[in-house]
Structure 1
């Protein structure tokens, strides 16, 4: 019986690397796998910050995953699907992934963030929590600047942490005007409270 698994970690937690490793293992066992991603930056690739990458099928929020993967099962014998950046998927696409596991007997492993920079669940991550057969917190937890294990994500704009704004705003972990850092809850609360304090 196939399962739907959701593996999550904060920024820098090794999600894409874990997705690439799983996809590699599937191929090494002689099975046909499919790597999919909704990625606003580099088209056609899943890439880890450690320098490992692989070609992927790039989707958008309107892609019918049931139709796409059903065709791949019929035409290419796909037995396993790895979905990276799953927090960017539409909730309806998560439901399609669950249906693919249930009705096509295709194992689906989704990798992504659990919460946004405001500590709120992404809608698709919430749907994965509701539907997944298995929930996995990846063990490769990044460190907060204070040295504790990071469990949350912080958005920095021009080096200043912000707690308001659009849920999705493309940035990076280094270099950009908008960037993201993994943080522990204590630091997120402390810096967030400071940012929210009006100047006197």
Structure 2
């Protein structure tokens, strides 16, 4: 039975690695996964899903104008699709998450989404909000703060390593810009504790 899954975490928990492992598992069994990633994040190349440990795969791109249901239905008319794997799913729109429920319910294709739950202000991304609300299965992938506690927040840093409290929700970056921390260190770094 097809279901909508949301695998979420703070940064550096291995979301892309887990996605790529899932794709490999499907392929190893002779099945055909369909991979998507956000066009806005091209740090590792256009149309690539890459993990920090060196794994990568080609992927279809989506932006906030992409009709994921139509895209998947078009591909399905030409070839077999056994599952849909979506990286950077925090960048999905409400409409796209709704379309993913239709991929599951109408096309009967499992959809596995991987993304951040919250931004550097501790607020939900739009895609994450609706995945948390509508997914059949929620799975938290864990990473750790420098103190050893579970990291549940992300700090955005300036070029000198100072925590930033305000700004655009989406600023693409990696370890040079963001650090995952526990709630206590999040508050401490922002001067709230």
Show the counterpart of 2:63. 60
Specify every segment of 5 or more residues in structure 1 that has no aligned partner in the other structure, as ranges: 196-200
Show the counterpart of 2:82. 79
Q: Measure the CA separation in 2 of the matches of 1:98 and 1:10.
A: 24
SS in 2 for 1:104: coil
Show the counterpart of 1:88. 91
Shift of residue 13 of structure 1? 0.5
Q: Measure the CA separation in 1 of the matches of 2:33 and 2:143.
A: 28
Shift of residue 194 of structure 1? 5.5
Show the counterpart of 1:182. 180
Q: Measure the CA separation in 2 of the matches of 1:11 and 1:22.
A: 19
Show the counterpart of 2:168. 166
SS in 1 for 2:191: helix
Shift of residue 142 of structure 1? 2.5
Question: Residue deviations 1:159-200, cap 9 Å, x none?
Answer: 1101111110112213xxxx00000000001111269xxxxx
Q: Measure the CA separation in 2 of the matches of 1:48 and 1:75.
A: 29
**1:4 aligned to 2:31?**
no
Q: Measure the CA separation in 2 of the matches of 1:109 and 1:18.
A: 11
Shift of residue 59 of structure 1? 1.4
Contact 1:73-1:79 within 8 A present in 2 as well: no
Shift of residue 149 of structure 1? 2.1
Shift of residue 145 of structure 1? 2.2
Specify every segment of 5 or more residues in structure 2 that has no aligned partner in the other structure, as ranges: none
TM-score for both structures, normalised by structure 1 = 0.91
**1:155 aligned to 2:187?**
no
Show the counterpart of 1:16. 16
- RMSD (CA atoms): 1.3
**1:51 aligned to 2:49?**
no
Show the counterpart of 1:107. 110
Give the number of equivalent residue pairs.
189
SS in 1 for 2:33: strand
TM-score for both structures, normalised by structure 2 = 0.94
Question: Residue deviations 1:45-89, cap 9 Å, x none?
Answer: 100000110111111111110110011112111120000000011
Displaced runs of 4 or more, over 4 A: none
Question: Residue deviations 1:106-129, cap 9 Å, x none?
Answer: 000000000000011111100001
